[in-house]
């Protein structure tokens, strides 16, 4: 009975992960495409532009890796447990780094670069950082870890 619950939990995580990753990947690829056609007007904006582009590409890679791990989790493949732990941990640490780098500074853009001056609330970023951490905690539970052992069969 415990095995069936573990399979259900893992498959729900896999389906939700794949759906969110596919939806997010399409939007992120559009942003990368639009950003790649932008030409910064100053040297300081050029550095910010490159850094943002690197982060966009990193998160696109993470989304592709999440789709691969979701496939493995859904099919209950032994390799997918460690792979999913690594991918979701990298996602959590990347988002945590983003939160830590944003603390103490109000996000603003230079008006001469065509931007706006303002700030925004970052509480949704906290939620986005907690979700991969919760998935890692769920995957580390003993019944789920046992499910992915090579000796266990469904």
Question: What's the pLDDT at 137?
Answer: 95
Domain membership of residue 152 (yes or no) is no
Helix or strand or coil: residue 132?
helix
Q: Is residue 108 part of a domain?
A: yes
Q: Domain residues for 67?
A: 2-147
Whether the predicted pLDDT of 102 surpasses 80:
no
For residue 44, being part of any structural domain is answered with yes
Do the Cβ atoms of 90 and 61 come closer than 8 Å? no
Q: Region of 54 please: left (phi>0), alpha (psi -120 to 50) or beta.
A: alpha
Residue 104 has pLDDT above 70, yes or no: no
Tell me how many domains the chain contains: 1
| Average model confidence (pLDDT) across the chain | 83
Q: Is 103 part of a structural domain of the chain?
A: yes
Residue 141 in domain: yes
Q: pLDDT, tens digit, for every residue of 15-69?
A: 999 999 999 999 988 888 887 777 767 666 677 778 888 888 999 999 999 999 9
């Amino acid at each position: 009975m415990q095995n069936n619950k573990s399979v259900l939990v893992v498959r729900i995580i896999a389906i939700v992960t794949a759906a969110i990753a596919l939806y997010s990947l399409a939007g992120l690829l559009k942003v990368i495409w639009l950003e790649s056609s932008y030409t910064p007007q100053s040297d300081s904006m050029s550095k910010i532009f490159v850094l943002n582009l690197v982060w966009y590409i990193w998160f696109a890679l993470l989304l592709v890796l999440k789709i691969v791990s979701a496939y493995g989790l859904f099919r209950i493949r032994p390799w997918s447990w460690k792979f999913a732990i690594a991918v979701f941990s990298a996602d959590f640490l990347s988002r945590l780094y983003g939160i830590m780098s944003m603390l103490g500074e109000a996000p603003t853009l230079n008006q001469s670069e065509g931007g706006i001056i303002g700030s925004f609330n970052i509480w949704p970023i906290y939620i986005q950082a907690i979700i991969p951490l919760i998935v890692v905690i769920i995957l580390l539970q003993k019944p789920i870890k046992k499910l992915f052992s090579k000796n266990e069969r469904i």
